[in-house]
Amino acid sequence: MSSNADIYHEMIVDYSRHPSNFGKIENPTISYHDSNPLCGDSIDIFMNVENDKVSDIKFHGRGCAICMACTSVLTEIVKGKSIEDVRKIQKNDVLGELGLEQLQAVRIKCALLSLKVLKYGLYSYLASKDTNADALKQEASSLY
Amino acid sequence: MQTAISVEQIRKDFPILQRKVRNDKSLVYLDNAATTQKPIQVINAISDFYTNHNSNIHRAVHALAEEATEAYEMTRDKVAQFLNIKDRQEIVFVRGTTEAINLVAYTWGRQNIKEGDIIVTTEYEHHSNIVPWQLLTQEKKAKLEYIGIDDNGELILNHLDQFLATGKVKLVAVSQMSNVLGTITDVASIVEKCKKVGVRVLVDGAQSVPHMKVDLSTMGCDFFAFSGHKMLGPTGVGVLWAKKELLEQMAPFHGGGDMIREVHKYETTWNDLPYKFEAGTPNIADVIGFAAAIDYLNNLGMDYVRAHEVEITKYALDKLSKINGIKLYGTPDISKRGGVISFNFADIHPHDLATIIDEDGIAIRSGHHCAQVLMEKLDIAATSRASFYIYNTKEEVDVLINSLARAARLFKL
């Protein structure tokens, strides 16, 4: 088993100091907020949707290095993708980018908070127009 | 009372301290403000109860019931002696400090707090001494006020004077030691101010009783709450102490077996104190285990416990303050703080720091420590917290310091 401290490689540390797509969008198509009550990590995600594509995405909030790095990577994955592709994103798509597939259980919630926020946000957007939107809600609530 | 016991001897009594964690690293347990480890004497007492004496208490007449009842009630006598309580009927066993405070809020509070009344607490309270009062004041349309803290993490007692001057304060609820800053509260001054105007005082002793001598015969408060598991005892055992006259006036908290004198179809009379507040089968085995914890601390002497913590806390504060980027919280005056050190290290989030040093076998706490009101006041999301007890050594502090250097390298500080 790899050492837990190995997760603090250069990419994670860099993202924690210089997160991607950090900021807010005024009047976004979608915005959603959630936090982890045990550690206090808190994330807002804002998205603009044009022609069924995510034309812009930003996030705001505070968290540990794992949380900030994973949220950065997630926003990079999402930007420019179609709604159909975004809804297919799975946790290993994010964890894999940062080599965090083996992350210990007590820290997994730090890594996946932003994905949970994204899925709930997408659900809130699709609920009224897509009969399959409930699946997103299910995925979001069972992520960790 | 022995004083010549060495830390090495003490450590031999704690089986868990012999184990390795992560990659074969010796355990360095610095999360004692959350819960302490248990000596073999406590573990054996619980095991002995289930092996040889297991029975319910108070009602049956058979041999096991008699033994179990005697051992359970003997713990009450030990608590009385430990805290210098004159009347054992004033000692109520509960699950922990949280339940003790809720008991007061739901019984005394509901009977005595009215619309417009004020309950005063402090900015450095644990959630367990905030949320029950929020629930109560919201229900009663009463008001909750906070004694603020200064830059040293000490209470600004002038705030209390201002609240008391309104004539509306009914209760002041304060912890005797902050679980984040380690600040030791000047309870004597608070009690003196409150008694002059007939205001009740509740003291949360969860962090103080395990670490210093506490004498309830002279403290002068009305309610006192603490937990066994932060002082070598098992989880699930705590104590509420209150003056008898108050306990007698208070309505029961839980209804059920053991708390009754007579039950009829539509009315019930209550059992004597303290059983009126101990409904249902209590946590018998762990209460009996708790007695072994009190014995262990008595054997060391609380003056020894405090002296050891002062020494190790001084050593750790001195070493930490020499590291660039370390921000320490709380008063530098060691006479006013317990063995708790909260800190932040440059821009490393406490959760990341705790994960990195866990790799070296070090257990510290990271987060808001159930004190979000204090975190808001300090304008931070979280801290890292190292907290010490009787078995910690200066060598373990050195392990922590070296591990922080490794974290600094990983984060390129």
Which pLDDT band holds residue A25 (cuts at 50, 70, 90)?
Answer: very high
pLDDT, tens digit (0-9, with 9 covering 90-100), for B288-311: 999 999 999 999 999 999 999 999
Return mean pLDDT, chain B: 96
Which pLDDT band holds residue B389 (cuts at 50, 70, 90)?
Answer: very high
Contact of B216 with B224, CB cutoff 8 Å: yes
Which pLDDT band holds residue A5 (cuts at 50, 70, 90)?
Answer: low
Contact of A51 with A70, CB cutoff 8 Å: no
Q: Contacts from B66-73 at CB under 8 Å and sequence distance 24+?
A: B68/B284, B68/B288, B71/B288, B71/B291, B72/B282, B72/B284, B72/B287, B72/B288
Contact of B71 with B288, CB cutoff 8 Å: yes
Cα A115 to the center of its chain, rounded Å: 3
Residue in chain B nearest A13 by alpha carbon: B411
Structure tokens at B38: 């248990």
Interface test with A, best of B406, B410, B411, B413 (most A CBs within 10 A): B410
Residue in chain A nearest B412 by alpha carbon: A13
Alpha carbon distance A57, A61 (integer Å): 14
Residue in chain B nearest A9 by alpha carbon: B410
For residue B104, the model assigns a pLDDT of: 98
Question: In chain B, pLDDT over 90 holds for what percent of residues?
Answer: 97
CB contact under 8 Å between B349 and A40, yes or no, is no
pLDDT, tens digit (0-9, with 9 covering 90-100), for B205-263: 999 999 999 999 999 999 999 999 999 999 999 999 999 999 999 999 999 998 999 99
Contact of B118 with B170, CB cutoff 8 Å: yes
CB contact under 8 Å between A4 and B410, yes or no, is no
Which pLDDT band holds residue A39 (cuts at 50, 70, 90)?
Answer: confident
Average pLDDT for residues B158-170, to the nearest whole number? 98
Exposure string of A24-53, with b = 16+ CB inside 10 Å and e = fewer, is ebeebebbbebbbeebbbbbbbbbbbeeee
Number of other residues whose CB lies within 10 A of the CB of residue A18? 10
Q: Which among A91, A110, A90 is positioned nearest to A8, based on CA atoms?
A: A110
- Asked if the model's pLDDT at residue B13 lies above 80, the reply is yes
Q: Say yes or no: B356 contacts chain A, CB-CB below 8 A.
A: yes
CB contact under 8 Å between A5 and B359, yes or no, is yes
Q: Over the Cα atoms of chain B, what is R_g?
A: 22
Alpha carbon distance B409, B413 (integer Å): 6
Alpha carbon distance B325, B405 (integer Å): 11
pTM (2 decimals)? 0.94
Average pLDDT for residues A1-30, to the nearest whole number? 88
Distance from CA of B319 to the nearest CA of A (A): 24
Average pLDDT for residues B390-399, to the nearest whole number? 98
Average pLDDT for residues B307-329, to the nearest whole number? 98
- Asked if the model's pLDDT at residue A81 lies above 60, the reply is yes
Distance from CA of A21 to the nearest CA of B (A): 20
Contact of B64 with B54, CB cutoff 8 Å: yes
Average pLDDT for residues B72-101, to the nearest whole number? 98
Q: Which among B130, B125, B151, B102 is positioned nearest to B207, based on CA atoms?
A: B125
Q: Which among B336, B319, B312, B357 is positioned nearest to B328, based on CA atoms?
A: B319
Strands B223-227 and B238-242: antiparallel
Which residues of chain B have a CB within 8 Å of the CB of A39?
A: 351, 366-367, 382
For residue B208, the model assigns a pLDDT of: 98
Confirm whether B221 is a catalytic residue.
no
For residue B172, the model assigns a pLDDT of: 98
Torsion, CA A72, CA A78, CA A80, CA A86, rounded to 10? -170
Average pLDDT for residues B380-398, to the nearest whole number? 97
Return mean pLDDT, chain A: 93
Strands B25-26 and B20-21: antiparallel
- Asked if the model's pLDDT at residue B111 lies above 60, the reply is yes
Contact of B241 with B216, CB cutoff 8 Å: yes
Alpha carbon distance B92, B87 (integer Å): 11
Structure tokens at B195: 């008694």
Q: Which among B246, B216, B353, B228 is positioned nearest to B289, based on CA atoms?
A: B228
Interface test with B, best of A39, A67, A110 (most B CBs within 10 A): A39
For residue B4, the model assigns a pLDDT of: 66
CB contact under 8 Å between A5 and B22, yes or no, is no
Write the residue in B348, B368, B410 that is nearest to A5 by C-beta. B410
Strand partners, A30: A47
Catalytic annotation, pick one of B370, B378, B397, B407: B370
Interface test with A, best of B21, B352, B375 (most A CBs within 10 A): B352
Quote the ipTM score: 0.88
Which pLDDT band holds residue A1 (cuts at 50, 70, 90)?
Answer: very low
CB contact under 8 Å between A40 and B411, yes or no, is no
Range name among A5-9, B64-68, B147-151, B258-262 with the lowest pLDDT average = A5-9
Q: Which among B99, B97, B75 is positioned nearest to B88, based on CA atoms?
A: B75
